[in-house]
Each structure stands twice: as C-alpha cells, then as structure tokens.
Structure 1
Amino acid sequence: MVLLGLLFLQISVLLVVGDGDGCDRDTSGSGGDLIDLHIIGFFPCTHPADKREYPVDNCDGIDRIPIMKLALEEINERCDLLSGYRLVIDYANSGCASIPATYHLIQQTDPEVPTKLMILGPACSIASELMGEVAQRYMNITQVAYTVSSSLFGKDKVRFPRFYRLVTITEQVADGYVALIEKLNWKRVTVITDEDELNINAGIHTEEKLTSQRVLTRMTFIDDPSEVIKSIEELRARIIVAWIHPRMAVQFWCKVVKRNLAGPDFVWFIPGWFRANWWAAVDGTDCTAEEMKKSLEHTLGGLGNGILDYDPDRVLVSKKTVAQFKQDLNKKNELLGPVKTDIFLNIGYVYDTAWTIALALNASTSMLEEKGLGRLEEYHSEWTEMSDVLTASVASVSFEGISGKVSFHNTSGNRRNPSTRIIQYRDGVAVPIQIYVPSQQDNNFIELPGQSLVWQGGYIPKDAPSPVIQHRSKAETAIVAVTAAVGILSTTFFLLFNVYNRKHLVVKRSSYRLNCVILSGILMGYIGTALYTIEPDDGTGHVPAALLCNLRYWMTEMAFVICFATFFTKIWRLYKVFFNKHLAERKRLKDHYLLLAVGGIVAPALAVLIIQASTYPVTLHSHAKINKDNLAQEEITFMCQGRYHLAFDTVLIIIRMILGIFSLKVAFETKKHLPTEKKYRKYHESAVINLSTIVAIVPSSICEIIVLVFELNNIQTGLLLIITLRECVWMYPMSYLLFVPKSLFIVNM
C-alpha cells in the first residue's frame, strides 16, 4: 500500500525554518519538543498536455506551491500559534479529476500514514465531488477548499456537511455584476448561459438578484450559440451578462462579432478567469485575431480577488503588510524557479486557506480541552465529537488575509464573502479596474490607483437603443394630400352638379339616386385617403390614434364596396333591360329596388368590419428596427394594425374580387349583346365606360395586396403612396368617366 502511494506521488514536505521575531521555537523537525500535525493538500500537479489526468514527476513547478510554503513558514514561526505543534502538509496530486483525488484520500486510511486532521483543497470542483463526499460524510474529515466554486457544495449539506471554501464563487462574481449594473442604472439586461452547471447556476442567481424590471430575458444554449445570439439582436439587447465556459469562449465571441453585436453601443460581462490572449485562438472560426481583439475593447468581466493589493500598507494575519508579503513571495519564487505569480491567478486563496486551517486548529485546542475530548495529536476521524469540534473551529475563524477579510460569520456557513475584481479589456488585455467589496455599505466599489471605467464611445452606453421616430417624407405626404384634395374638390363638384341637375333627362336616365350613392362613396374614399396624411404617433394617448386608425380604414374599405356595389346594380339593370324578353319586367327595376340590392351586397363587407371592430379592432402599434448605420439608434415606426389583420383583409379582398368579377362579366355581356341600331349608340358608349371603369378593380386589388405585404413587414417608406394608388386607381376613373361626359353634355346643350 505504501509503495502504491509512492507511485502516485504523495510527497510529505517538512519545512525547515529559523527562529523569527525573537521566538525560541525549534521548527527544524529534529527536536522532540514539537508534535507534527498533518493535513493533506490537494494540488493539480498534472501537466495540462497530459490527457491521462495522472501525476507527473514534479509538483513544485505549480504556481500554488511557493505561496503555500510561504504560508507554512509564517505559521510555524509564530510562537502564539499552535503552541507545541508544527503544521505539516502532505501534498497529493488531485490532477483536477475525481479518481486521483479520491485515490489519494483512501491512502490516508493506511495505518502507516500519519493521520490527517483536515483537507486543504483541491483546486477543481470535479476533483472535490467524490473525494469530498467520502471524506466528509464517511471519514468525518473537514475540508477547506481554496478554489472549488461549484454551488453544489454549498447547497447539499447531506453529502458535504464539513465543507468550507475561500474562493469567490460565480454567484458572488454575479453579485458584483449586479451591483455595477445598478450603479450605472441599466434597466434592461439579458443573461446568457451555456449548459455548464456552474454557469447555469450563476445565470439563475444573476436573474434573481436583478429586479424583474431589469431582466429582459435569460437564455441557455447547449453547443451552438447561434440562436441565442440571434435573439439578442431581435431583442435589441445592449447590456448582456454571459456565463460561458472557456472552451466555448472563442466560438461564442466570434459569432457575436459576426452579428455586429459588440462595440461602443454594447456592454458585455464575460467571465474574468479566461486565460490571457484567449481570443487569439481563432482556428476553426470565421474571425481573425485582430477582429476578436478589437471587438473586446472595454468589455467587462469579474473574477475572484486572490490578492487584494490596492492598499499596500494593509496588515495581514502574518503581521506583514501587503507590500512585504509580495516581496517575500517574489523571493520564494526566485528560489524555487520560474513560476507564474500573476495577481489574476487564485494563489492568494491558497495562502489564506493555509492560515484558515492553522487558526482553526489553534482554536480547537482550547475547545477540545473545554469539552474534555483530548488533544489534537490524539485525533482520529472515527471520533465524531472531535471531528465536530474541528469543523466548528473553522467557522470561528476571522482574520485579514491577502484575498481580503476572511470570515465565515453571517454567511451560508461554508463560505466567506470575498471581494470581486472587476476587469475591463484594454487592447486585448484584462485590466483590473475596481474591487467590489460586498461588506462595505456606503460604497461597494474601490477604484484601483490610476484606473477607472472607460467607454469606447466616450459615454456610458445605454441599456437600449435611442428611439428615433420615423416620419413619412414631406414630399410623399404632399403628393397624397394634393391627390386627395383634387379628388375631394372634383367629386364634390360632381355631386352638387348631379343634385342640381337631378331633373335633367340625362341625369334622370342615369339614375340620379344611384349616382349620388356612388359619388358619396368616392368622396368617402378620398377623405379616408386624406386621413392617411395624418400620422397617428401622438404621445397624448392611444384613443385618438385608435380612432384615426379605424376611421380611415373603415372609410377606404366601405367606399370601395359601396361604389362598386352600386355600380354593379346599374350595370345589372342595363343588362336586364336588354336580356329580359318581358318588357313589363323593366318597370320593376326602380331605384329603390336597386338600393336594396346595394345594401345586400354591402352587408357582407360591413359584417366583416363590425366583427373585426368588436373582436380585434385596428389599433396603433409601434415597430422597432435597429439602424444598421447607427446601432445606437432604434428606428420606431407606427402602423395601424389589428390582431388577425391579415385574415380580415383577405376576406375583404375576396369580396372585392368577387364583386369585380361579376361586374366585369355583366358589363362585358351587356356590351357584347347590345343592339347595333343608331338609337342604341348611347348605350354602347355607356357600356364601354362601365367596362373601362370595372377594369380598374384589377390594379386596385394588386395595390391592396402590396399594402398588406408592406404592413406585415412594417415597411413605412412608400406605403402611403401605395395606399393612395390603391384608392385613386379606381376612384378617379369611376368619377371622371361616369360624370365628366354627362356634365359636358348638359353644359353644351
């Protein structure tokens, strides 16, 4: 068993240090006055390129080891800490995987292996899950992790009853995001997560922390983020919090770049723990490294604050200042060879974890004595009461660590409230800008010396594009206004002329009453067209706008049906006169019968309009579209639409077409079968006029379909002209062809 343990590289490290601060304490390991207290420290010693996830030859090259040795030296030099004891860490390689970590834990049951009082680490959540459950639930060993960030360990108290951690977990980084969002008064926020459990929990936490008024939506993608990114564009989102795994980062951000969703008008929050220059790994994407780098400018992020160094004079638990600590760490790194000590790494948590365990063990000595449970060197994990004391002693710890204040008071019981470092990308580099400290009440954000938030456009981006109302062009409105005005004046003249000459033989023969109905319908259509020049985008309320929408809609639709229904009855009477063998039948075709027929034809269209008005009336709707030339602007157009507007309009178009087809058929048959005698010449001319007028229904119906296409696609430009053409293409021919010849004939008599 011992040989197998050596095979997997379990290295016991005993530090030899001299006396410090006048303390006459022998920490050399050769004296018999100090008793070794062993803990096991899990570190991911596997080389990143080693896919086997098994140990390699050397752990000392890992960046966490130097700071751990520095912490042990400081702890063992203190005379007022662990009197009579020396803290020893037995290093084990967790490999950032479950099996190696659990294997090394099981080795601790070997009688020849020193008893471990606590577990320090590991670094990865996956390495801690099985190992942590076995250690805490079945072996009664307390675990203090430095960078295990999964929320699972805080929620499942059954599997992990003796778990503590010092890292800033993703939910706490989210708290920093939320605080900054509220500080900058952004009201519309979109949250995106991938399928990773940590990120999903962080996304849910972000949504819960933000008020319901602030969250626009929360979306999750599995492998391909294309649909989610497309939704961002459709939602016109500007402030986006993205919780994504490093393996998805390049693919995700490239799609953001290609959709033109990054730049001065957008604010992205992305995880701050991506490796340096992650954006440059563009192989297999459609982006270049330069595109990725440029698009990241001023993007925000957050990560745990492993080394809180904004105040170099802050005194730590070791009685050193932050400045002195960094000097000592640099010396330690020089002695141990080249290692990375970038402040973005989580090495500060390792240092504070060692001090947490040392202070907890120190506190447990008096607690054990009070309870009469023996001494630390007598500890055995099967002794549950002693294990409970060790677990409780961690909760009592409170000190000033390199990562900030370490205290488990007033929290969930297994984690502290550490600070979060807010970063902002500058020229492809994640630059620390602010420190978010949740314990501070007045101002939770501490700006780092010489740093402040900078915005690409020189202004704080808005959480939504600035609305710009799109108005119709003045030229378009003028054309429609003049066209409608000419139609109103001419139709009014024809109507008055028809009334004035109602007893004239020409007017009487052409059905004076029916002419008045046709002209009234045409006048209604022109007025309805004129109403389209008034834009219903008033800000005083939707009642006037809704009234205007329905009024012009009803007037233009009813004008067509009334005119063509009346016109059809006139043609039908002419048809009956020449095709009915019984001349007496002609006497029955009086105007009042024809007016009843008009009412019967108009009734279906009127019923459709009444049903629509009582169920899904036409109201004012606003439609937004991003200005492609200026992403900070949102083009707002106002359209008069109703629910199932397309269905109702389709029914009205069908009624138009049926009416037009029957009118055309009757007019054609009448002209074809009219007698050729000279006395019937006027009827031939009338039939030609009727036929020409009815033909106008074809382009009118085509224009109606085009109007529907424009409205469904919220196209404002040219819509007014198409509506005008739809109405005038039949109103002008009907009024001028029918009444100009009559008027000229009467005037010239």
Structure 2
Amino acid sequence: MFFVAFCVVQLLSLASGESGAASELSLVFLSGECEGNPSQPWEHSLEENAARIAAEDVAVCSGVNLPVRLTSAAAEDSSAVNRELDALLEVVQPALFNSSLQTIGVVYTGCSEGVRVLAEVLSSRTYQIPLLSFRFLPSPHHSTGNHYYHTRIVPEEAALTPAVVTVITQFSWTRVALLSENTPAFKQLHNDMLGELDESGVSVHHQLILDSAPKLLPPDTHTLFGEDVKVFVLNMSPLLAKAVLCWALRDLTYPGYAWITYGWYGERWWEEGEEDSVSCTAQQLAVYLERSLAVSHYPTWTVGEGSGTVTDQPTCLKSGLELTNELLLRAAPPTTPPPGLRSPLPPSVYLVYDAVWTAALAHTTAPLSRYPETVDKVSFEGSSGLVSFGNGTRELFQLTLFQYRRVNGELQRVTVASLTPLEDSSHYDITFNEGETPATVWPNGVPPDGTPIQVEHFPYPALMGIVYTYSLLGVLFALGCLAFNLVFRKRKLIRLTSPNLNNIIVLGAIVLYLAGLAFFYPQGASRTGIIWGCNLRAWTAALGFSACYGTLNVKMWRVYSICRNPRPSMSKSLIKDYHLVLLVLGFVMVDTITLVVITSLDNSRFTVITIPNKQDPTPRINEEGIKEVSVVSRCLSTTEPYWLSILFGYKAIIQAIGLYLAFKIRNIKIRGLNDSREVSITLYISSMILFIVVVVTFVYGDYIDVDGFVYGFGLSTCATVVLSLTFITKMVNLYRDPEGKDIFQAPTSTDADPGTDIYYLQRRVRELEKQVELARSQENLLDIGTPKSLSIAPPPMSSSTNTPPSTSDSVTTSRAQAPSDYEQ
C-alpha cells in the first residue's frame, strides 16, 4: 500500500497550482487496479498506448502539445487508500510547488476508493485539477463552492440498477435472488436495486450479503439454490462471483436457471484470479455461465468506420476500428492481447483514448481558468461512441446487454441488446441487436423464475357427480309434482291445498336445485365467468328458499286466519290466492333488494381471489423441475359477513314464523288443511341443514370441495324435503280417498272406550252439518282453488249426555269456543 501512496505523491508532485508559472501543460494518466477484478499486463499496455495515441492525434489535429505522463498504481486493497489520505496530504503538499509543469487533468482507470481519494485531493482549492475517471465509481460532485470537479467517461454504476431491473421485467421474471458483496459500493447498489425491484413488482425471494471472497459456504445459504428461485443477480466483484458459481454445484444452468452479472468484468474473468480462491475449475464455471446475461454501463463498441458526426468533430479523431488497428500494430509481446480478444479490445482502451480527447477539447475551447467547468460541456463522437456529459455522467450512453455463448467451442461474450435511458433516466428501453430476439437469447425457452405454477383445482368428479345427479333428479321430481298438481287440481283434496300456491312451491324448489348445481361452478373459467357464477349462487339460493318456505307460511297463515274468524264478512274478509301471491312476492322482494344493493355497491361487489388449495397444500415438482401448487379461485366481498348475516337472519325469521303458524293450526281436523305436522318436519330438517351450511361457509369456505358439496347437497335436500312432505302425502291421501269423502280426521286410538266413540260420532255429525253450511257461504273460494280453512268447535253438551272420558281428549280451536259459534 506504501507503493500506492508513493505513486499518488509522484503524480501530485508533477502538478502545480495557479500560483506557479507553468512553462508547459500536461495530462497525467494514472493506471489503477480494481479489487476483485485484476487487470492483465497487456491491458495496462494497451491503455497506456491509447493515451499516447490520443496525445499524438491532439497535437496533429489542434497543434496543442499535451504530453501525457504515465503512472501506475496497483491497489490490491482499495480501503487502504482511504486510510492513507491524511498522511498522503502531509507528504504531497511541499512537493507540489516544485513542478515546472501545470497539470490540466488526470485520467484514472482505478475503482471506487481510489477515485474518491483522488477527487478529494485534486478538487481542493490548492489544486483544482479535474479528474476524468471510469469503471466502478462513486457519485461525483460538481459544486463550485468546494471546487469538487470529477467527470465520468461512462455512466455511474448506479445506472446499472434500473438497467438490470429492465432486463428482469423484459423476460417477465417476477422473483429473483439478490446476492451482494459486503462493501459500501455494492451495498448501496443492493439497496437501490431492492427499491427498483419493488416498484416494478418483482419480489426478492432471497437476498444475501456476502463477505469478499469467502472460502466457506455461509450457513444461511442451504435453501438459496433450491426450487423457490431460479434467477440470480450477482451484485459483486468477479472473484466473489466465481466463488458463488462454485457453490451452485447442482446443475443450476440454462434452461432451468438464469444468472445476471455485471458487464464490466474482464473478458475471461472466470479464468483469471487465484486458482485456490474457488473450489471448481474454469471449465466448470464456463458451463454455469453459458447463456447467462451481463449488463454493462460501458457502451456497445463497434469497430466499423466512424459511427456518426457531431458539430466541430475533430477530423483526426480515430474511430473504434482505426484505434484498434493502431494499437495492434504497436503491441509487442508479452503485452500483446490474446487472439480471441483483438476485436474489439477491452473497453478501457477506447475510454482512455476518449478521456484524453475530452481534456484536450475542453482546454482548447475555454480559458484555463474555466477549464474544470468546461469539461462537463464536451460532446463528440469518440472511439467508444457518443461522448456526452450531463451532470457528471454520460447519460446519453446506451448500456449494453451481453450474453455468454459458445462460439467455436469457446465461451465468449456476445452483445445481444442495448438499453437506452428514457427521459426520467431511471428506466430503460431495451432494443435487441439485428438478428437477436428473445428466441435467440433463449433457444430452449425463457428460464423460469421459480414462481410456482398455479394449477387450478377442479372439484372431485365423484362429488360433482353426486350433487349434479341429485339436483337433476330433483328437478325431474319437481316437474312430476307440478304435473300431479295440474292434473288433479280440481279434486277436492287437492283444491283444499291451494294448487296455485303449490305451483310456486314447485318453482322455488326448482330454483333451489339450480342453486345446488351452481355451487359447483367449474373452476378455471374466466374471472368474469366466476363472478357471474358467484352471483348466480347467491340469487338462486336466496330466491328459491323464500319462494318455497314463504309460500308454506302464507298457506298456513290463511288457515290460521280462517280458524280465528270462522264466519267472516263475505265482502271484506275473504283471503284469495292473489293476496297470498302478493305476500310471497313480498318475501322475495326483501331478498331481491338485498342482493341488488350487494351487486351495485363497489365495496360490496364480488371480486375473484386465488388462494392456495388447503385440501392439497403440498407442492409438487413437475418434469421440468418447476414447482406446482394447487390453487382455487373463489369470490370475495368486503361486506360478505354482513350481507350473509342479513340473508341467513331473514331465513331464520321465515323459519320461526312457519313454526309458530304450524303450532297454531295443529288441531285442525280437516284433511288437506292441517299441514302442521308436515310443515314442522320440513322446518326442523331445513333448520338443521341451514345451520350446517352456515358453519361450513364460515369455517370451511376455502375448502372448495367441502363447501360446494355441503352447500349444493344441502340446498337440494331442502327442496326435496319441501316437495316430498307437500306432495307425497297428498298423493297418498288422494289414492286412499279419491273423492275426498273422508277429509275429516277421527281418533285412531285402539284403546278408546265405547263412550268416547259415541262422543266423536255425534261431534262428527255436527261438524259435517256445519261444514256444509260454511262451504255454501264460501263457495267462491272453492271456485278459485283455495278454500277457507275451517276449524269447527263442537257445540256444548250437557253434563249428563255422553261426556268424554277426559278433557285432554277434547279438541280446541284457534279462537273462542262460545256455543253461539256453532248453533243454528
């Protein structure tokens, strides 16, 4: 490290401040090293020759003699440069005023720490010498307040962050692993990249900060190279990148995996460095690198003839091809580049040439006193492309995307695309070179990013078959009940059951069966189709239930009303079928209004979400090595708990009303009017089913097979129970008594004594007589198909004539049993 300090002291001792009289201007070229990315001797030789050629061209073209003094500083430990700063200034200052040359600029090829130290020294009030630098650099400053002048020949490394993110999004990768080196510069890039990836919707599934060149695998990397992520971004020096690649000894190669590195690595960096620093050979590393990508903040070098013209373009400024040929002519062993690296040469060669021209053009276009500010305004077409400085960075440069490919059996870096910064300079537009497309970059398909493939779960066919078969058979059963009701609607026993209202019950049952079918709406449909399916389930379930059970309630209510008023006014109190139909529509309207509000409000509408399938939570690895997870799509509404509570609470109210009315008419003795037993059984069964459905909905809603089966089967069962107890009992009664002669019930107890039989026979005679009279007065009700339900109390009997054995055997009515109600 003492050698580095000595070299910088020599460099600064050659420069003089404004207080000294300069007999000649000069430019200092300082060749440096980068930690983890050592340069080869032939690279240093080419850089020095490029600086000499540039000075010669400047002298020929402008007549300005700008000698270039060459200095070399190999920094093996860049952090040591920073520690030597204070001591360096104490040694340098006395020697600065003894120089006869005035230094107008320093071209430095080193890395971050060296650039920062030189920039601080050279930009001080004492020297005010601009620094032209490239490679791995810190952010520059250009404030005239502290005279901090520092110009880049290439974009800063921060420009690599959005460029890498652009490459990631170009190939539709949504998750990556970010591995960074534990140095200030790389850690800053790491943090910047995390923010850029997050803004682009890319998740960093693994992130790891590694010490420089570790020889042991860190303990927290045992899951790093698994199946969860297959795209790795190496934000580190080449030496550490080699170590990371050696850790990945599990065939993590294309087409199963993708690696992204930096393009400022050496041409054959996997073959350079210490052999004992990694645990694998260069041949193995070449296998891992094949088809990997590299993003470079160096421009794309073309070695053709001149690439364009800029105003006041120097005519003697060499193009990339001309500079390449000139350098190869001057090269001599052992500093001759390898044959495979002759076209183009390493990027630093062209950048050095353009840096010297930058200093010269700035000097010739402005007074020396304004020289530091003028450097940033230089713009010309150089051997490396367009040289243009904006706020200290070459913003107009196109970044380069390389790919490592096999060419004639050798792994080489091939330029596949350029990245052009957009107006905000934080996003890039990628343009593939001629002959390059995503298909040529990835001939076997774009590597997966490790995101599990979501496999839509379809309900088990057996469960679907049971529900579908049950529901379809239920629909046929409902149609059979409808046919029975229409064919026998004029029979006395059927007329007493209100056949018009029975049709509504059948219609409601069919809707419930359709709801059972809708709860197994096929998965895998479009999002719009799934939302339609969810709305269909809600509407059919709610409306079908209200139609069935609401109609049962209004039928019982008419019987209950007649029982309370057995002699109503013919003009005012008759309850006709259309009155009851209106009541049923009222029940249905409550559901309709609730569902319309749900589907119209933005925060209540259904949305489709995809969730893991809890019935099959274990992921699988397919034949291509990609993880597959089972998912289900379900509907979700933010207000779902509220409107479900409203709908289920409303159904509970309907159930409660039905139970109350069934209890009140339980003692009616006219067959066909007293459905209390059947209705009670229906309500008990449906209540249990609804309770089970509610529990399953709130607890097992994510288990699509369980939820769909219980919901579909439960609703179909509710419909079946209603139809069975409403129509099958009527079918049996009609078969036994086709003419309706025995519509009154009689005691069936086998142990009744003769006195009880006589009592009921006498009572039966009076009831028949009374029924004939009331039936004549209410004949118009029978004409429309729904007779008034009657409950006739027996007339008072004398205590001495056929008193029943027990008062518990007497039959009560729903209203007062005054003797006057039954007397002529």
**Bin of the TM-score, shorter chain as denominator length:** 0.5 to 0.7
| Aligned counterpart, 1:554 | 539
CA contact (8 A) 2:176 2:449 kept: no
| Aligned counterpart, 1:744 | 732
| CA distance 1:261–1:307, change in 2 (3 Å) | closer
Letter in 2 for 1:698: M
| Aligned counterpart, 2:599 | 613
Q: CA deviation at 1:736?
A: 1.4
Alignment partner of 1:10 is 2:7: yes
Question: 1:288-687 alignment to 2 at 5 Å?
Answer: 298-305=291-298, 308=301, 322=324, 325=327, 331-333=333-335, 348=346, 350-352=348-350, 354-360=352-358, 362-363=360-361, 385-389=367-371, 392=374, 396=378, 398=380, 400-401=382-383, 404-405=384-385, 407-408=387-388, 414-415=393-394, 420-424=399-403, 431-434=412-415, 436=417, 453-455=440-442, 457-458=444-445, 482-502=469-489, 504-507=491-494, 510=497, 512=499, 515-529=502-516, 550-551=535-536, 553-567=538-552, 584=564, 605-616=591-602, 621=608, 629=622, 642=637, 644-657=639-652, 659-660=654-655, 687=677
- Within 1, Cα distance between the matches of 2:289 and 2:686? 59
2:723 counterpart SS class: helix
CA contact (8 A) 1:418 1:437 kept: no
Letter in 1 for 2:368: M
Unaligned runs of 5+ in 2: 12-22, 181-185, 210-227, 272-281, 308-316, 421-429, 613-618, 738-824
Q: TM-score, normalised by structure 2?
A: 0.57
| CA distance 1:644–1:159, change in 2 (3 Å) | farther
CA contact (8 A) 1:264 1:457 kept: yes
Letter in 2 for 1:10: C
1:144 counterpart SS class: strand
More displaced, 163-172 or 314-323? 314-323
Question: 1:58-77 alignment to 2 at 5 Å?
Answer: 65-71=44-50
| Aligned counterpart, 2:32 | 43
Aligned counterpart in structure 2 of residue 732 of structure 1, from 700, 720, 740: 720
| Aligned counterpart, 2:131 | 143
Q: CA deviation at 1:359?
A: 3.6
| CA distance 1:175–1:312, change in 2 (3 Å) | farther
- Within 2, Cα distance between the matches of 1:247 and 1:646? 57
Q: Percent identity?
A: 14
CA contact (8 A) 1:270 1:302 kept: yes
Alignment partner of 1:110 is 2:100: no
Alignment partner of 1:99 is 2:82: yes
More displaced, 269-278 or 311-320? 311-320
1:110 counterpart SS class: helix
1:10 counterpart SS class: helix
2:201 counterpart SS class: strand
Q: CA deviation at 1:725?
A: 1.0
- CA offset digits 1:289-346 (Å, max 9, x no partner): 9999999764433124489587799996799663674686673548xxxx999979x9
- Within 1, Cα distance between the matches of 2:465 and 2:206? 54
| CA distance 1:487–1:99, change in 2 (3 Å) | same
Q: TM-score, normalised by structure 1?
A: 0.62
Letter in 1 for 2:153: L
| CA distance 1:83–1:347, change in 2 (3 Å) | same
| CA distance 1:7–1:86, change in 2 (3 Å) | closer
Aligned length: 641
- CA offset digits 1:346-382 (Å, max 9, x no partner): 99454445434544555577668xxxxxxxxxxxxxx
CA contact (8 A) 1:168 1:304 kept: yes
2:599 counterpart SS class: helix
1:301 counterpart SS class: strand
Q: CA deviation at 1:388?
A: 2.0
| CA distance 1:745–1:516, change in 2 (3 Å) | same
- Within 1, Cα distance between the matches of 2:475 and 2:448? 51
CA contact (8 A) 1:514 1:595 kept: yes
CA contact (8 A) 1:528 1:555 kept: yes
Q: CA deviation at 1:273?
A: 5.1
- CA offset digits 1:571-609 (Å, max 9, x no partner): 7899x89xxxx9756789996798787677666544432
- Within 2, Cα distance between the matches of 1:332 and 1:290? 25
Q: CA deviation at 1:263?
A: 6.9
- Within 1, Cα distance between the matches of 2:3 and 2:168? 52
More displaced, 65-74 or 629-638? 629-638
Letter in 1 for 2:370: D
| Aligned counterpart, 1:166 | 153
CA contact (8 A) 2:303 2:319 kept: no
2:692 counterpart SS class: helix
Alignment partner of 1:698 is 2:700: no
Letter in 2 for 1:423: F
- Within 2, Cα distance between the matches of 1:665 and 1:102? 96
Alignment partner of 1:87 is 2:68: yes
Q: CA deviation at 1:41?
A: 3.0
Q: CA deviation at 1:88?
A: 1.7
- Within 2, Cα distance between the matches of 1:728 and 1:316? 87
Letter in 2 for 1:302: V
- CA offset digits 1:265-307 (Å, max 9, x no partner): 88775544579679xxxxxxxxxx9999999764433124489
More displaced, 386-395 or 462-471? 462-471
Q: CA deviation at 1:197?
A: 4.3
Letter in 2 for 1:564: Y
Q: CA deviation at 1:732?
A: 1.0
Unaligned runs of 5+ in 1: 15-33, 50-58, 208-214, 226-235, 279-288, 369-384
| Aligned counterpart, 2:423 | none
